[in-house]
Amino acid sequence: MRHYDRGLSSKVFDACNYVFLTALCIVMLYPLANTLAVSLSSPDKIIRGEVGWFPRGFNLEGYRYVFADSSIWTAFGNTVGYALVGTLIMLLVTSLTAYPLAIPGFVLRKFITIFILITMFFGGGLIPTYLLIRKMGMLDTFWVMVIPGAISAYNVILFRTFFKSIPKDLWESAYVDGANDFRILFQIYLPLSKALLATFGLFGIVGAWNGWFDALIYLNDETKYPIQMLLRKMIMETDSSSMNAQTFEMMATMKVHSKNIKMSTVMVTIIPILFIFPFLQKYFVTGFMLGSVKG
């Protein structure tokens, strides 16, 4: 009887979980589905508020308006460059910083760890950072988008924690065989850290893809803008309060609503990054948990 009660309780718990998670999925998926539907709907249906889960009156003019600007391909290329190069630099620098903090016998690892932890609570601020970057001559360059955010204390701590979970015997045996620290890191530690690298690589790519604030502060040349800055510009141009006559005439000619354009820009931004998740999903949970098991 007691075994039956436990089985019934488990089934009730599972049923409640399924209901809750299904409701949560619906709540989280609706904004995405509605954004896609509005981007594909006709202006009159949008004005009347008839668009919900599915498009009403199929219309691709919003996407045509977005891609009518040839600079969008330059912005896509810039964003891909910032995301790939920035992520590779981030993984490399973070690994090189975390490795000596994880190996035995490094006398300064406690001091450096404390110093890194302090930076999680105190920052230099926007103005000193801007002045430093200007003094280094990085304003309006490719590198201003990849170097300043190349390392973070949070990433270093998680990488160090994961490296410490690797058996010391591997390090000792390699060291006895004559391998130096660079060889140990790149031939032993990093190959064992594929899940962690994939997880934080995904974080880095998504962060670079969605980033626009650094470009707003440090870039003046529009040919170096990432996709988010260009789409932000498009959204501002189609806002009813700041729309110029040329934009209004173009929208009238194409028979497109401002919400068509805004939702199309959102979809253009998020669709490419969605294709990355299926390839890295299997590493996501594993890598995140492995880096946070031990302190």
Q: How many angstroms separate the CA atoms of 249 and 253, rounded?
A: 6
Give pLDDT, residue 118.
86
291 in helix, strand or coil?
A: coil
Q: At what angle do helices 71-102 and 227-237 cross, to 10 degrees?
A: 140
**pLDDT at position 114:** 87
Average pLDDT per consecutive 10 residues, the chain (295 residues; last block may be shorter): 60 87 88 84 76 79 80 87 92 91 82 86 83 89 89 88 84 81 86 84 85 87 86 73 54 66 82 73 59 47
* Amino acid 90: pLDDT: 93
- Measured between alpha carbons, how far is 189 from 171 in angstroms, rounded to an integer? 9
Distance between first and last Cα of the chain:
44
The CATH class, in words, for 61-295 is: mainly alpha
d(CA 87, CA 92): 9
Q: 200 and 155 in contact (C-beta within 8 Å)?
A: yes
Nearest residue to 218 via CA among 269, 152, 149:
149
Please check whether residue 63 is in contact with residue 47, taking contact to mean a CB–CB distance below 8 angstroms: no
Q: 103 by DSSP, 3-state: which?
A: coil
In three-state secondary structure terms, 106 is coil
The pTM is what?
A: 0.77
**Rounded distance between C-alpha atoms, residue 273 and residue 224, angstroms:** 20
Q: How long a stretch of residues is the chain?
A: 295
User: Domain segments of the chain: what residues?
Assistant: 1-59, 61-295
Question: Counting Cβ atoms within 10 Å, is residue 78 exposed (0-12), middle (13-18) or buried (19+)?
Answer: buried
The sign of the dihedral angle between the CA atoms of 112, 114, 118, 120 is positive
